[in-house]
Amino acid sequence: MGKKIVHMGIDDTDSSKGGCTTYVLALIVEKLFEKFPGQVRFLDYPNLVRLNPNIPWKTRGNGAVALRIETSSSILERAQNLILEVVEKNSMVSEGAQPAVVFLEGSLTKEALSFGKRVLFEVVGEHEAKDLAKRLKARVYTLSGEKGVVGAMGAVCNPLTEDYTFELLAYRTPERRGTPRQVLPESVLKMDEAMRDVTFNNIDPETSRILITPRGPDPVLFGIRGETPEAVLQAACMVEVGEPIERWVIFRTNQGTDAHLAVRKKVCQLTPHTPARVLAEVRSEPKTIAGGHAWLLVGDETGCIDCMGYEPSGDLRNAVLKLKKGDVIEVYGGVRPPTNDKPITLNLEKIRVVKLAPYHSLRNPLCPICGKRAKSAGRGRGYKCSRCGWRGYGEKERIAVERELRPGFFVSSPRSQRHLTKPLCRYGKEKRGEPPRLVPKWWGLGKPTYSSW
């Protein structure tokens, strides 16, 4: 019997009180290897696809997952039933989760690929996702609602061919979930020092805060993000933990790629709950507001918008406060809807300084007699020299002031970056095209070991 290529997507198995969609996929991977040894060929690493991060009803990082496999028709039917069983058993339906599973056979069409991009920077409804699934003849299964259909379809329709990174996720044993994570900080600092050229966002350099461990009750113990599967596995092996690791999986993902900021817009095109990238001019001097946040007004020929660089964004906030009226910048971030007392606002993730406006300071004129800098003699009374006694009138001098900023990118500090935000260390490391060959060992039970290769 002939082989079939199948794309499978899952979303919304978790809730704010626990669960994790990547963990559900990790269980599925193990079951497929166990039940169908040698009968299911994985065409790619499991995909972790981050969608529009501004969706207000998302849980945590708004991530969906996908598997791309090749198998026979007879195996596919049994594998599908197994997958649905795992999803049903491990979803947080009682806490409000609305999981969805999508199966799509064959190649991805242009319409499918377009949808996979749109869910990164638009608000897409369940009906549109279901209509697309019907046209593509995809099979859609839902539990307790249809909220997960958009994410499941978005993951299926995004083969991650633009730019991608990898993440190794290690999971806790059930009895440890909800307790403080036992990851030795010193080992993370040592790992980061050795692997920072090929991994990213392990620690926050300003505060030395460890960033590989989440804070919620989900099953993830730690996650290592990097440029290659070999890099994330080697780094994970360097992390010392004080609790058992149940399992681990390497995902290929769009994290750290700015995939949600690919489309440049005009100010008049900005809508709430969407990412935005706007080339604009600074229209007013920035200022610090309550909480230490930086406020800025920018505009283009279609209008103006308030921008906010929040205090935890560190270097980004500091750069915003050094801008001057007339500077040309590109702003990146998420559009916050208006409230009763605040207009629509762009919450900044990064800025690119394109062109700095000339900046001058005004200084009192020099004394024409002795050359000393004159002082004001009072409003409307000209100037006076404290050295020789000269009094008279003159024009203030315009003195060019060297700017503290330079053209280039300024990104929020790692501790406040979104999953999709591309850190400065990734510029120049972008990858394109088909997925790489799978390494011999990309998942396992217990603590990951590099020597197993």
Phi-psi region at 433: left, alpha or beta (left = phi > 0; alpha = psi -120 to 50):
left
pLDDT grade for 91, boundaries at 50, 70 and 90: very high
Looking at 3.30.70.2200, 3.30.1300.10, 3.40.50.970, 3.10.129.10, the CATH number of the domain 3-257+429-452 comes to 3.30.70.2200
Residue 39 scores a pLDDT above 90: yes
Lowest-pLDDT range of 45-49, 165-169, 384-388 = 384-388
User: How far is 331 from 348, CA to CA, in rounded Å?
Assistant: 7
pLDDT grade for 161, boundaries at 50, 70 and 90: very high
- Residue 422 CB contacts under 8 Å (≥ 6 apart), including other chains: 256, 257, 258, 411
Percent of the chain with pLDDT over 70: 99
What are the Cα distances from residue 360, in Å, to 297, 322, 325, 376? 21, 14, 12, 20
Task: Please list the residue range(s) of the chain that carry CATH number 2.40.50.1010.
Answer: 260-359+401-421
Task: Say what the pLDDT of residue 383 is.
Answer: 95
Task: Say what the pLDDT of residue 216 is.
Answer: 84
Mean pLDDT over the full length of the chain = 94
Residue 1 scores a pLDDT above 70: no
Task: Please list the residue range(s) of the chain that carry CATH number 3.30.70.2200.
Answer: 3-257+429-452
Contact (Cβ atoms closer than 8 angstroms) between residue 218 and residue 14: yes
CA-closest candidate to residue 443, choices 12, 18, 19, 26: 26
Residue range 41-73, pLDDT digits in tens: 999 999 999 999 999 877 777 999 999 999 998
pLDDT grade for 254, boundaries at 50, 70 and 90: very high
Lowest-pLDDT range of 26-35, 245-254, 279-288, 431-440 = 431-440
CA angle 69, 74, 77 (to 5 degrees): 70
pLDDT grade for 443, boundaries at 50, 70 and 90: very high
End-to-end C-alpha distance for the chain, whole angstroms: 33
Residue 270 scores a pLDDT above 70: yes
Task: Say what the pLDDT of residue 451 is.
Answer: 62
Residue range 342-372, pLDDT digits in tens: 899 999 999 999 999 998 888 999 999 998 9
pLDDT grade for 307, boundaries at 50, 70 and 90: very high
pLDDT grade for 449, boundaries at 50, 70 and 90: confident
User: How far is 82 from 69, CA to CA, in rounded Å?
Assistant: 15
Task: Say what the pLDDT of residue 257 is.
Answer: 97
Task: Say what the pLDDT of residue 144 is.
Answer: 87
Range 260-359+401-421: architecture per CATH:
Beta Barrel (2.40)
